[in-house]
Amino acid sequence: MNKYTERLYNGIIKENPTFVLMLGMCPTLAVTSSAINGLGMGLSTMVVLVCANLLISLFRKVIPNGVRMPAYIVIVASLVTVVDFLMQAYLQSLSAALGVYIPLIVVNCIILGRAESYASKNPPLPSIFDGIGMGLGFTIGLTLIGLIREFLGAGTLFDVPVLAQFGWFTPITIFIMAPGAFLVLAFLVAGMNIVRKRMEAKGKPLAKPAGCLSGDCASCGHSALCSGKAVAGEKQAADAAGN
Amino acid sequence: MSDLYHVSSSPHVRSKDSTSRIMLYVILALLPASFFGIYNFGFRALLIMLITIAGCVASEWIFEKIVHKKSTISDLSAVVTGLLLALNLPVSLPWWEALLGSVFAIIIVKMLFGGLGQNFMNPALGARCFLLIAFAADMTNFNCDAYTGATPLALIRENNGAIPADLNVMDMLTGRTAGTIGETCVIAILLGAIILILLGVIDLKIPASYIITFSIFILIFGASPFDTTYLVAELCGGGLMLGAFFMATDYVTSPITPKGQIVYGICCGLLTGLFRCFGANAEGVSFAIILSNLLVPLIEKFTVPRAFGLVKEAKKNE
d(CA A14, CA A46): 17
Amino acid B7: pLDDT = 66
What is the 3-class SS of B222-240, one letter each residue? CCCCCCHHHHHHHHHCCCH
Q: Which whole number is the average pLDDT over B182-201?
A: 92
Does B6 or B87 have the greater pLDDT score?
A: B87
Q: Which whole number is the average pLDDT over B159-180?
A: 80
Domain ranges, ordered by start, for chain A:
3-208, 210-243
Q: Which whole number is the average pLDDT over A205-233?
A: 51
pLDDT class for A165, splitting at 50, 70, 90?
Answer: confident
Mutual angle of helices B19-41 and B186-198, in 10-degree steps:
160
pLDDT class for B213, splitting at 50, 70, 90?
Answer: very high
How near does any CA of chain A get to the CA of B228, in Å? 38
B15-62 pLDDT, tens digit per residue, is 777 888 999 999 999 999 999 999 988 899 999 999 999 999 999 999
How near does any CA of chain B get to the CA of A180, in Å? 10
What is the 3-state composition of chain B as percent helix, strand, coil, each rounded to the nearest 5?
A: 65, 0, 35
* Res. A195: pLDDT tops 90: no
Facing B133 at nearest CB: one of A168, A170, A177: A177
Domains of chain B with bracketed CATH: 19-302 (1.10.3430)
Residues 6+ apart with CB under 8 A from A198: none
Burial category of B61 from C-beta neighbours within 10 Å (exposed 0-12, middle 13-18, buried 19 and up): middle
B62-97 pLDDT, tens digit per residue, is 999 999 988 888 889 999 999 999 999 999 899 999
B230-273 pLDDT, tens digit per residue, is 888 888 888 899 999 999 999 899 999 999 999 999 999 999 99
Facing A168 at nearest CB: one of B94, B134, B135: B94
B90-134 pLDDT, tens digit per residue, is 998 999 999 999 999 999 999 999 888 888 899 999 999 999 999
DSSP tag of B57: H
B180 with B125: CB under 8 angstroms? no
Q: Which of A2-6, A108-112, A173-177, B122-126 comes out lowest in average pLDDT?
A: A2-6
Q: Inspect the interface and report whether the beta carbons of A170 and B108 lie closer than 8 Å.
A: no
How near does any CA of chain A get to the CA of B26, in Å? 31
How near does any CA of chain A get to the CA of B136, in Å? 8
Q: Which of A106-110, B77-81, B164-168 comes out lowest in average pLDDT?
A: B164-168
Amino acid B184: pLDDT = 87
Mean pLDDT of chain B: 88
What amino acid is encoded at A120 in this protein?
A: S
Contacts of B94 in chain A (CB under 8 A): 168, 170
d(CA B233, CA B255): 29
Q: Which of A5-14, A69-78, B130-139 comes out lowest in average pLDDT?
A: A5-14
Amino acid B262: pLDDT = 95
Q: Inspect the interface and report whether the beta carbons of B134 and A183 lie closer than 8 Å.
A: no
| Interface residue of B63, B113, B129, B133 to substitute, partner A, most A CBs within 10 Å | B133
Contacts of A174 in chain B (CB under 8 A): 130, 133-134
Query: Whole-prediction pTM value?
Result: 0.83
d(CA B160, CA B224): 8
Does A163 or B27 have the greater pLDDT score?
A: B27
Where helices occur in chain A by DSSP H, the ranges are 3-9, 25-30, 35-58, 68-90, 92-98, 109-114, 124-154, 178-201, 223-226, 229-242
Q: Which whole number is the average pLDDT over B199-227?
A: 90
pLDDT class for B3, splitting at 50, 70, 90?
Answer: low
Amino acid A228: pLDDT = 47
Mean pLDDT of chain A: 83
Q: Inspect the interface and report whether the beta carbons of A173 and B135 lie closer than 8 Å.
A: yes
d(CA B23, CA B201): 9
Contacts of A193 in chain B (CB under 8 A): none
In degrees and rounded to multiples of 5, residue B31 shows phi and psi of -60, -45
Q: Inspect the interface and report whether the beta carbons of B134 and A173 lie closer than 8 Å.
A: yes
A124 with A4: CB under 8 angstroms? no
d(CA B82, CA B101): 9
d(CA A21, CA B147): 54
Residues 6+ apart with CB under 8 A from B60: B71, B72, B73, B78, B106, B110, B111
A152 with A172: CB under 8 angstroms? yes
pLDDT class for B177, splitting at 50, 70, 90?
Answer: confident
* Res. A226: pLDDT tops 90: no
A134-155 pLDDT, tens digit per residue, is 999 999 999 999 999 999 988 8
